[in-house]
Structure 1
Amino acid sequence: MTAWADLVPQYENSSDEALYAALGAALLGEALGVSPMDRARLGRFAKNWFANKADEMLQRLKATDTYRIWTETAGPGQLAETGVLAGALHEQGSDDRVAAALGEALARDTAAKHTRSYDVAVSFTDEVREYVRSVVETARALGLVVFFEPDMTVEWWGRNFLLEGRKVYGQRAWHFVPFLSPAYLAAPHALDAFATAITAVAQRRDDYVLPVLVDQPEVPAELLNPATGFLRTEDHTPAELAAHLLAKVRRTKAEGAAARDFGAAVRTSGS
């Protein structure tokens, strides 16, 4: 089997969905098959297992020599990266696949708790760009910190925009707001963002994803539970939608962002 250090780059470049499916396979000692149903089953198992174990596990890792040596050179506020956590897990007896996949899951979870820098992250396709831009500008005027991907042209110059987007949509916002249109549902980039956010629900709130429907799209049930509450652009001006977002974010921050069981991941949300 490949050493854990050689597996780390593979998991660092995986989507959350692929990472948790691989972690589930490693924990259960299974080879990861090609069936989407198998991947979903393994991912659900891993997310639930991780939600119950992550904090306790991280505390145990801090007692290892690997983690102690890293802290001696770490700067103020620096977070342990995947390699450090995977090495500490391997030191404690985890096999290579578990150490690498779990190290990355712990790194993402730690980063999410320390770098949630946006109140809202929006995702959309071009036909609704101006409406979304108006929502973003109004929300910012109300004091919300909003992630709007067109702002990142220079900052993401030379970077993999899919991987950078996954960090935001899965880890760094209090709420993810997809503007679901027929074009959105046919756009691989948009669906990647959506899948990342849906996967993150298990570690966040069941109303983390706040869908907004555009132009009567037919959203497949496998993408979004038909019982999930949503708003429509035709029913709300950009200013009204921004006000709804402000109220939602304030309520979320007041209540905290407790992790949820994945079985309750997508339910009707009231806005």
Structure 2
Amino acid sequence: MTEIRVLVQLCEELSDDRLLAALGSALDGSGLNVSPVDPGRLRRFARRWLDAKTAELWERARATQTYRIWAETAGPEQVIEADDLATALLRKGVPGEIAAPAAVAMHRDEVARAPVYDVAFSCAERQTEYVQLAVSAVRATGLCVFFEKEMTYEWWGKNFIVEGRRVYGRSARYFVPFFSEEYLSEPRPRDALEWAMSAAVERGDDYILPVVVGDVSVPANLLGPNIGYLRADEHSPEQLAAALRAKVAASRASDVEPRDIGVIVRGVRGSQ
């Protein structure tokens, strides 16, 4: 397995564009019709190929003992290292020249999607003033908060729908939607909620912490009858902040201290 680790180390030194170009070259060497003399086309092909094959590659990797050992010992927000991912792919028949750049690219994607916010807020335009007070109160407790309506300059020139989906789907510890009549009718909040609901399938029911604004009836497919929620008119921004601070503290306390996966995997390899 030393050779694959060397290949991974070489790939880790590459920029994203050069990494994808290397992946495209490896695929071209496998018989795919991509010209290695056209770097621009090569990068575009590699990116499309990786996007199309990611699910298949993850399925292969997760079926290996290497990945299972990592999953059993890793913390909730830990990302598997590229060399262990490449080893898993190699054991599933993926050639090293493809496994190495693919693993590094996949690892970078996972790191980019790892949670960076404690809480992500989502509301309709009409509730902005109240939610902004809640944002300030939560930040005063020391938590890291995402609020889309503050991202004017950060998302300048970017696809704000895609950027929002990335946060609501993966980059927050908790998602807090403020359900109102406007929230249920405006397309942007509904899109955020749909992505958060998809993430909740993997991350658990309490990923979404609903707050109901006013006398609104939330459809059962969005908020089931057994899902607990808070009412905005019964809780001040400071009370919401305190409740969220307790939620995040409990979540952090339950995190498993990650073990040294390199030592564990090496031990398993030595026993094989």
TM-score category by the smaller chain?
Answer: 0.5 to 0.7
What pairs with 1:102-141 in structure 2 (closer than 5 Å)?
A: 109=110, 111-112=112-113, 115-141=114-140
Aligned length: 194
Corresponding residue for 1:188?
Answer: 187
Give 1:253 deviation, angstroms: 1.3
1:50–1:203 distance in 2 versus 1, CA, 3 Å: farther
2:61, 2:88 within 8 Å by CA — same for their partners in 1? no
What pairs with 1:25-174 in structure 2 (closer than 5 Å)?
A: 53=63, 55-56=67-68, 58=85, 60-61=88-89, 64-68=96-100, 70=101, 80-81=104-105, 85=106, 109=110, 111-112=112-113, 115-174=114-173
SS in 2 for 1:207: helix
For 2:61 and 2:212, locate their aligned partners in 1 and report how far apart those are by CA, in whole Å: 31
Identical-pair percentage: 39
1:159–1:52 distance in 2 versus 1, CA, 3 Å: same
> Which amino acid in the other structure matches residue 97 of structure 2?
D
> Which amino acid in the other structure matches residue 191 of structure 2?
D
For 1:51 and 1:192, locate their aligned partners in 2 and report how far apart those are by CA, in whole Å: 31
For 1:204 and 1:108, locate their aligned partners in 2 and report how far apart those are by CA, in whole Å: 18
SS in 1 for 2:168: helix
Deviation per residue, 1:80-130 (Å, 9 max, x gap): 43xxx5xxxxxxxxxxxxxxxxxxxx8765543xx3110000000111111
For 2:117 and 2:169, locate their aligned partners in 1 and report how far apart those are by CA, in whole Å: 11
RMSD: 3.7
Bigger radius of gyration, 1 or 2?
A: 2
Give 1:51 deviation, angstroms: 12
1:119, 1:174 within 8 Å by CA — same for their partners in 2? yes
1:51, 1:203 within 8 Å by CA — same for their partners in 2? no
Corresponding residue for 2:206?
Answer: 207
2:115, 2:173 within 8 Å by CA — same for their partners in 1? yes
1:116, 1:173 within 8 Å by CA — same for their partners in 2? yes
What pairs with 1:184-263 in structure 2 (closer than 5 Å)?
A: 184-256=183-255
Give 1:50 deviation, angstroms: 9.8
- Give me the TM-score of the superposition, normalised by structure 1: 0.61
> Which amino acid in the other structure matches residue 182 of structure 2?
A
> Which amino acid in the other structure matches residue 120 of structure 1?
V
1:160–1:128 distance in 2 versus 1, CA, 3 Å: same
> Which amino acid in the other structure matches residue 249 of structure 2?
R
Deviation per residue, 1:146-176 (Å, 9 max, x gap): 0011221011011111100011011111000
- Give me the TM-score of the superposition, normalised by structure 2: 0.61
Which consecutive residues of structure 2, in runs of 5 or more, have no partner in the other structure? 1-32, 34-43, 69-83, 257-272
1:51–1:65 distance in 2 versus 1, CA, 3 Å: closer
For 1:212 and 1:176, locate their aligned partners in 2 and report how far apart those are by CA, in whole Å: 10
Deviation per residue, 1:60-94 (Å, 9 max, x gap): 126632132x38xxxxxxx843xxx5xxxxxxxxx
Corresponding residue for 1:41?
Answer: none
> Which amino acid in the other structure matches residue 155 of structure 2?
W
Give 1:7 deviation, angstroms: 10
